[in-house]
Amino acid sequence: MKAITDEELMQQVAEGKLDQLKILFERHHLHIFNFINKMTGDRMLSEDLTQDVFYKIMKYRTTYAKGRFISWMFTIARNNVKTYYTRNKESYDSLDEKNEKLFEAIDEEPEDYSHLQKALNKMEAADRELLILNRLQEIKYYELAEIMGSTPGAIKTKVCRALKKLKTIYFENI
């Protein structure tokens, strides 16, 4: 039997079959949590924001326009993180300072946080976000372009530049 796609499931959710959202949640909540956690560095906040993403998927289900579900879902997740920081009077880019303090405080647990994660946290939020979505969440360039409101070529260029920055940061701290 053929597995039902995310897009088909979301279409059913949009039509009022809310029980199908459970399947989407089971498939994607870890991806969303990992993305948000890498962006915020705060596990509790990430759990809350992940729940909020799926609440918003349910709440705004009728606005789903039959596009790629992953793109739509990560757009909601990105906006959710930015909205949180805006409402709490923190700059989205101030995450850099917050993450550095977080990782200084937990240096006693090196097995939980790699050198790569520390290098990622020293990057600007926009670059970090691109790398997390593209390399860790395996979101394709065309999907990222849809999420970010750009073109696949521009996204590919930005990812390449972000990778070069990450490489520089990573190797200067070894």
Domains of the chain as residue ranges with CATH: 1-90 (1.10.1740.10), 97-174 (1.10.10.10)
Count other C-beta atoms under 10 Å from residue 132's C-beta: 20
For residues 144 and 130, is the Cβ–Cβ distance under 8 A? yes
Q: In this predicted structure, what is the pLDDT of residue 174?
A: 61
Q: In this predicted structure, what is the pLDDT of residue 7?
A: 93
Q: In this predicted structure, what is the pLDDT of residue 80?
A: 94
Count other C-beta atoms under 10 Å from residue 122's C-beta: 17
Q: In this predicted structure, what is the pLDDT of residue 172?
A: 83
Burial annotation 77-102 (CB, 10 A radius, 16+ → b, else e): bbebbeebbeeeeeebeebbebbeee
pTM to 2 decimals? Answer: 0.71
Chain-centroid distance, C-alpha 165? 19
Q: In this predicted structure, what is the pLDDT of residue 106?
A: 41
Mean pLDDT by 10 residues, the chain (174 residues): 86 92 94 91 93 95 88 93 85 52 44 69 88 87 89 94 90 74
